[in-house]
C-alpha cells in the first residue's frame, strides 16, 4: 500500500536490516553542519522507445516487463485491478501483451493523488536533466488517463499531454484506469531500470577535498535504480550511507563505509518521494525525511523516536530538495535547487530565503561543510566532465577538483570524523 495514509500523515516502520541522500555528520556531541542533495544511481538512460506495432497471433500471457511494472506500481501506490491481454483489437498493445491497465478512479481524490505521484515520478526530468526519465527507463511509449494521452515514442514530435478522443466506438475515456503501453524492450524487461536494479553500487570516497583519487577502500552496497545520500545515523562523528527506493518509500541506512546489510530499514513517505536527511533537532544525529515533488512539501522522521518537526511547504514544481545548516546554529534547514535555471534557494526561516546562481543546467547540486566551520556551503558536480565545484558562503567558487570518470553519481560526507566534508562518486 502507499506510504501516505489518510489525512496526509506518514506511516513509518523500523526494523534492523539494509541504504539514500543525507546530511554530513559531526564530531561526537557536536551537531552536524552539512547535508547533501539526493543523486540517482542508474546506468545510462534509454532513448525514447521505438514504436513497434503488434503483429502475429494474440499473446497468451503478458510480457514480463508489463507484469513487473504492475507489481511495482500496485505495491507502491495501490490500485484495485489490472488488465493485460485483449485479443479483440489486433492494433492494441494489449494484443501483444505489452500493455498494462491500472485500475484507479479519476473521480476519487485519493486515487487521483496516487496516480499523480506515479505519473510525476515517471515523467519528470532526472537530476541530469533527462526528460521523462523513468518512463524511458521502463520503455513506456504511451500513457492514457482521464481523457488525456501522452505519447513518448521516438517518432512523436510533441511529447506532452493532449486530449484523448474517447467518443469513437469501443474507446474508453480511461477514467477508471490508467493505460501504459510498452516497447518490445520494455515488455521484455530489458531496459535500464531493470539493469540498474540488478547492479550493486560501488562507492569510491576520498577523505581529502583536494584529492582527485579515492583515498579509501572502494566498497559495494545496496542496489541501483535508487537514490543515494550520507548521514551520521549513530552519532559516532562519521557519516554512513543511505539508499532510498522511491518505488517502495523504504530507507536503507548503514553506519559503516563497508558492504553488508543495512543497520536500519525504515518505511516513510510515498511513491516517487525524494529522500532528505539532516539534524532536525540539534542533537548531533542525522534523521531522515522526504520531499514530495507533486506538493512541494518536506516531511520529517526522527530516528530517536522524538516528535518530528511539522512539514514545510517550499519550492516549485520540478525543484530538487536540499538540506543544510545554512546559519551555523546546529540544526539543519531545507532548500531547493531549480535545475532549469541553476539556482539554489536556501530557506533560513519562514521569512528569510537566500538565492544563489551556480553552475549550468545538467549539473547535480551538492551541499557540504567544505572548510570545517560547521556551516553548510553549496556546490555542483558536473557529470559531463567529472568535476566538483565547491563554493564559499557567498556562492563564489573556493575550489574545484576532478574526481572519477564523467557520468558518475556524486556523494559527499564526513567520512573520517574530522571537521569538513569531502567528495566521492558512485558507479554501477
For residues 173-187, average pLDDT: 97
Same domain, 330 and 263: yes
| C-alpha cell recorded at residue 22 | 543525507
pLDDT digits (tens, 9 = 90+) for 287-302: 999 999 999 999 999 9
Strands 250-254, 264-268: pairing is: antiparallel
pLDDT grade for 34, boundaries at 50, 70 and 90 = low
- For 87-106, what is the mean pLDDT? 95
Is there a domain that residue 215 lies in? yes
Q: Are residues 24 and 132 in the same domain?
A: no
Gap between the Cα atoms of 338 and 358, Å rounded: 10
Percent above pLDDT 90 for the chain:
86
Query: Three-state SS for 119?
Result: helix
Could you tell me if 158 and 75 lie in one domain? yes
Residue 243, C-beta contacts closer than 8 angstroms, at least 6 positions apart: 18, 19, 20, 201, 221, 222, 223, 226, 227, 228, 229, 251, 252, 262
Would residue 56 count as lying in a domain?
Answer: no
Summarised one tens digit per residue, pLDDT across range 318-357 is: 999 999 999 999 999 999 999 999 999 999 998 899 999 9
Q: Quickly state the pLDDT bin for 35 (edges 50, 70, 90).
A: low
Q: Which whole number is the average pLDDT over 212-221?
A: 97
pLDDT at 207 over 90: yes
49 assigned to some structural domain = no
Beta pairing, strands 12-15 & 177-182: unpaired
Query: Which helix (H) or strand (E) covers residue 142, if one does?
Result: strand 140-145
% pLDDT > 70, the chain: 92
Cα 136–201–338 angle (5° rounding)? 55
The reply to whether 249 and 353 lie within a common domain is yes
Q: Could you tell me the three cell numbers for 189?
A: 524487461
pLDDT value for 18: 30
CA 396/CA 351 separation, integer angstroms = 24
pLDDT at 5 over 60: no
Domain contains 126: yes
* Domain encompassing residue 209: 6-44+200-427
Which one of 190, 216, 242 terminates a domain?
A: 190
Residues 253 and 228 in one domain: yes
At 76-90, the pLDDT tens digits run 999 988 899 999 999
| Grid coordinates of 244 | 532510498
**Are both 281 and 341 inside the same structural domain?**
yes
**Burial class of 13 by CB neighbour count within 10 A (0 to 12, 13 to 18, 19+):** exposed
Domain's final residue, options 137, 159, 190: 190
Q: Which helix (H) or strand (E) holds 109?
A: helix 109-123
The whole-number pLDDT of residue 32 equals: 53
DSSP string, 301-333: E-TTSPPPPPPEE---TT-EEEEE-TTSSSS-E
Report the mean per-residue pLDDT for the chain.
Answer: 90
pLDDT tens per residue across span 397-418: 999 999 989 999 999 999 999 9
Q: Are residues 213 and 167 both part of a single domain?
A: no
Provide mean pLDDT across the span 89-98.
Answer: 94
143 pairs with which residues across the strands? 150, 180
Q: Is the pLDDT of residue 15 over 90?
A: no
Kindly state the average pLDDT of the residues 219-240. 96
Reported confidence tier of residue 14, pLDDT bands at 50, 70, 90: very low
**pLDDT at residue 30 is higher than 90:** no
Please indicate, yes or no, whether residues 85 and 167 belong to a single structural domain of this protein: yes
Q: Is residue 51 part of a domain?
A: no
Residue 167 sits in the same domain as residue 245: no
Listed in sequence order, the DSSP H helices in 30-89 are 64-77
Name the domain boundary from 135, 166, 190: 190
**Residue 1 lies inside a defined structural domain of this protein:** no
Instruction: List the strands of the sheet with 387-391, edge to edge.
Output: 364-368, 377-382, 387-391, 397-402
Question: How far is Cα 395 from Cα 47, in angstroms, rounded to an integer?
Answer: 35
Crossing angle of the two packed helices 64-77 and 109-123, in degrees rounded to 10: 130
CB atoms within 10 A of CB 132: 19
Total count of domains within the chain: 2
Cα 289 to Cα 27, 50, 77, 199, distances in angstroms: 22, 38, 19, 25
pLDDT for res 29:
43
Same domain? 350 vs 268: yes
pLDDT digits (tens, 9 = 90+) for 120-165: 999 999 999 999 999 999 999 999 999 999 999 999 999 999 999 9
Amino acid at each position: 500500500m502507499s506510504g501516505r495514509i489518510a489525512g496526509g500523515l506518514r506511516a513509518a516502520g523500523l526494523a534492523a536490516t539494509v541504504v539514500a541522500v543525507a546530511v554530513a555528520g559531526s564530531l561526537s556531541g557536536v551537531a552536524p553542519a552539512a547535508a547533501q542533495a539526493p543523486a540517482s544511481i542508474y546506468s545510462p538512460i534509454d532513448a525514447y522507445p521505438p514504436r513497434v506495432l503488434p503483429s502475429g497471433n494474440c499473446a497468451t500471457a503478458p510480457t514480463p516487463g508489463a507484469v513487473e511494472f504492475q507489481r511495482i506500481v500496485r505495491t507502491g501506490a495501490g490500485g484495485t485491478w489490472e488488465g493485460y491481454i485483449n485479443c479483440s483489437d489486433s492494433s492494441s498493445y494489449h494484443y501483444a501483451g505489452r500493455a498494462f491497465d491500472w485500475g484507479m478512479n479519476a473521480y476519487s481524490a485519493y486515487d487521483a493523488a496516487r496516480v499523480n505521484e506515479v505519473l510525476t515520478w515517471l515523467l519528470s526530468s532526472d537530476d541530469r536533466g533527462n526528460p521523462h526519465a523513468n518512463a524511458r527507463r521502463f520503455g513506456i511509449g504511451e500513457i492514457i488517463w482521464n481523457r488525456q494521452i501522452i505519447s513518448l515514442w521516438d517518432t512523436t514530435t510533441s511529447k506532452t499531454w493532449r486530449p484523448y478522443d474517447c467518443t469513437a466506438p469501443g474507446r474508453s475515456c480511461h477514467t477508471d484506469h490508467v493505460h501504459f503501453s510498452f516497447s518490445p524492450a520494455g515488455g521484455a524487461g530489458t531496459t535500464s531500470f531493470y539493469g540498474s536494479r540488478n547492479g550493486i553500487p560501488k562507492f569510491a570516497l576520498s577523505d581529502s577535498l583536494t584529492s582527485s583519487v579515492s583515498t579509501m577502500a572502494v566498497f559495494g552496497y545496496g542496489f541501483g535504480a535508487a537514490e543515494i545520500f550520507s548521514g551520521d545515523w549513530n552519532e559516532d562523528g562519521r557519516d554512513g550511507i543511505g539508499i532510498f527506493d522511491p518505488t517502495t518509500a523504504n530507507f536503507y541506512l548503514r553506519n559503516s563505509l563497508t558492504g553488508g546489510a543495512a543497520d536500519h530499514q525504515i518505511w516513510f513517505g510515498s511513491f516517487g518521494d525524494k529522500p532528505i536527511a539532516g539534524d532536525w533537532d540539534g542533537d548531533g544525529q542525522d534523521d531522515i525525511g522526504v520531499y514530495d515533488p507533486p506538493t512541494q512539501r518536506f516531511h520529517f522522521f526522527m530516528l530517536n523516536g522524538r516528535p518530528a518537526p511539522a512539514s514545510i511547504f517550499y519550492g516549485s514544481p520540478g525543484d530538487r530538495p536540499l538540506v543544510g545548516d545554512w546559519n551555523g546554529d546546529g540544526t539543519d534547514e531545507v532548500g531547493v535547487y531549480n535545475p532549469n535555471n541553476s539556482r539554489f534557494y536556501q530557506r533560513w526561516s519562514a521569512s528569510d530565503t537566500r538565492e544563489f546562481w551556480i553552475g549550468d543546467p545538467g549539473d547535480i547540486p551538492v551541499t557540504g561543510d567544505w572548510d570545517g566551520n560547521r556551516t553548510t556551503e553549496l556546490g555542483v558536480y558536473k557529470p559531463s566532465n567529472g568535476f566538483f565545484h565547491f563554493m564559499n558562503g557567498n556562492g563564489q567558487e573556493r575550489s574545484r577538483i576532478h574526481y572519477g570518470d564523467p557520468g558518475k553519481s556524486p556523494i559527499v560526507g564526513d567520512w573520517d570524523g574530522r571537521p569538513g566534508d569531502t567528495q566521492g562518486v558512485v558507479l554501477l
